[in-house]
Amino acid sequence: MTEVLAAHLDIALFIAAIFLMMFGFPVAFTLAGVALGFAWLGAELGVFRWAQLNFLPQRVWAILNNSVLVAAPLFIFMGLVLERCRLAEDMLTAMARLFGTRPGGLLIATTVVGALMAASTGIVGATVVTMGLLALPVMLKNGYDPVAACGAICASGTLGQIIPPSIVLVFLGDFLTLANQQANLISGNPTGRSVGVADLFAGALLPGLALVGCYILYQLALTWRQPHLAPPLPPRALAEVGGGAPGESDLVLFLRALVAPLLLIVAVLGSILGGVATPTEAAGVGAVGALLLAAWRAAPQLRLVLAAGLFAAIGILGLLAVFDLRVGRTDTAPVELWAIRIAAGLLLLTCVSVATALWVTLRHGALLDVTFRTARITAMIFTVLIGATLFTLVFRGLGGEETIKHLLEGLPGGLTGAMIFTMLLMFVLGFFLDFLEIIFILVPILCPVLIMMGADPVWLGVMIAMNLQTSFLTPPFGFALFYLRAAAPASVKTTQIWRGAVPYIGLQLVALLLVAAFPTLATWLPALMLRN
């Protein structure tokens, strides 16, 4: 009996951790505690050496010094600032006025705003709850079928999983980078192809936009066949969606609500995909841009200062494109010296603008709240990450890596069979565990083997992200369903929320199968970036 336990201690460790987390124990401490317990048991049975835990401080230090992961708190801060400045309300108002006068218009508006919120915040729970509080009451009041309304809100809310700059993609991209490096080393090809967060952002963009298109096509078909499920909104109802300024024209509202967020999204994603900035640098741009946007909305009298800072930043970028602005050089030409002086003045103006935005958001009570919420979320994520690092270290020390390799390689169908097993495992665990927990636990264990079997790292990352997005929607445990249940009025039944999600689950599975069958949907754009 002892020999059997010692031989399968790695599998017992994995099952014990998943079992305890399903019962609601804190994830970070469950992973770390179970790992230490099994490390002691393995040492007693002679299959684990305590010296292997000496690598833990080194790994924790590497996590805390990972420049890529710095993007996560910055993107979280950006999303929370945009959520706090009531961006969704104005976007929903603008889109409702654009589409609301036709059948199913508010379903389409909800989907488009959900996609924009996903690209702005990357936080699933915030989008579902916000849309549930804003759009759902108006839909129900104007005769929309609760099933159709709830389905659109849940589905659009989960787009934050797949549309960049998703927090999921930041951590998934970093872990895939490490998995790819490990696979290259094991395969004896240390100089093999490298991947990063920017590659995963590019790979997820087209599938994410295609998924939005599938949602809208389904909603158009549904309301064409059964217009009574989502009747046109009367003019008086449009003003109830998110508010809007009295007497404001549709064009002004549309420009005010959508132009600034779209410019921010283009600046963040465009700088990453264009190779101008790393994800971390782009996240800093997004955080500062969100602050400026929040201050612009909160203090109209200071818009001149904020706009001056924005144009000054653009001017600095223009000067950088033309002149060498490095200081301290001995061969600086007179024209470059003048360019440096102008850039210094523009930088001062930009700093004044950012300081003004900080002061405005602090005075309105938003800055401290958002900062503390960002700190809490970031602390939670990194605590789980450290616990998962200890878990992975012990799992590998018990021989788990070899066990997983033999398991996947022994499945029928080669890479196809291994991918089906991996997708099913992640899909089922997505009912019970958060996406970050699945990424931290499974990606370091499974992905190196899958990459060595021939899986493209970017394609693999997109498949994982879309799979986790589907599990967010699947009854009875989908997290998006719980978020909407908390925000929906009592008149909406839980079964109606579940029924509304079912068609979108089918659409996501179809999209997942398409990406599986045609990997170029995920790999074409990253390959194009690499060539350029």
Q: What is the mean pLDDT of residues 203-215?
A: 90
User: How much is the pLDDT for 300?
Assistant: 84
Does 197 score more than 70 pLDDT? yes
Does 249 score more than 80 pLDDT? no
User: How much is the pLDDT for 69?
Assistant: 77
Q: What is the mean pLDDT of residues 35-49?
A: 83
User: How much is the pLDDT for 250?
Assistant: 61
User: How much is the pLDDT for 2?
Assistant: 67
In Å, the largest CA–CA distance within the chain is 82
* Confidence grade of residue 123 (pLDDT, cut at 50, 70, 90): low
* Confidence grade of residue 483 (pLDDT, cut at 50, 70, 90): confident
User: How much is the pLDDT for 217?
Assistant: 92
Q: Which distant-in-sequence residues (6+ apart) come within 8 Å of 485 by Cβ?
A: 494, 497
User: Quick check: 280 and 75 in contact, CB under 8 A?
Assistant: no
Output the DSSP codes for 12-64. HHHHHHHHHHHTT--HHHHHHHHHHHHHHHHHHHTS--GGGGGHHHHHHHHHH
Each residue's pLDDT tens digit, 314-368: 888 788 777 777 777 777 778 888 888 888 898 899 899 989 999 998 888 888 8
User: How much is the pLDDT for 218?
Assistant: 92
User: How much is the pLDDT for 379?
Assistant: 85
Q: CA 326, CA 426: separation in Å to the nearest integer? A: 49
Most confident of 120-134, 138-152, 228-242: 138-152
Q: Which distant-in-sequence residues (6+ apart) come within 8 Å of 132 by Cβ?
A: 153, 483, 484, 487, 488
Each residue's pLDDT tens digit, 436-478: 778 888 888 888 888 888 888 899 999 998 888 888 788 776 7
User: How much is the pLDDT for 278?
Assistant: 79
117 closest CA partner among 151, 78, 168, 72: 78
Percent of the chain beyond pLDDT 90?
A: 5
The token pair at 532 is 């350029």
Residues in the chain, how many? Answer: 532
487 closest CA partner among 92, 153, 113, 133: 133
* Confidence grade of residue 253 (pLDDT, cut at 50, 70, 90): low
Rg (CA), the chain: 25
389 closest CA partner among 192, 174, 195, 194: 174
User: How much is the pLDDT for 348?
Assistant: 92
User: How much is the pLDDT for 374?
Assistant: 85
Q: CA 93, CA 103: separation in Å to the nearest integer? A: 17
The token pair at 206 is 């087209």
241 closest CA partner among 80, 84, 88: 88
* Confidence grade of residue 532 (pLDDT, cut at 50, 70, 90): low
Taking the alpha carbons at both ends of the chain, their separation in whole angstroms is 59
**DSSP classification of residue 326:** -
Q: CA 100, CA 3: separation in Å to the nearest integer? A: 68
Helix H segments across 274-365? 279-298, 303-322, 334-363
511 closest CA partner among 152, 199, 217: 217
User: Quick check: 420 and 453 in contact, CB under 8 A?
Assistant: no
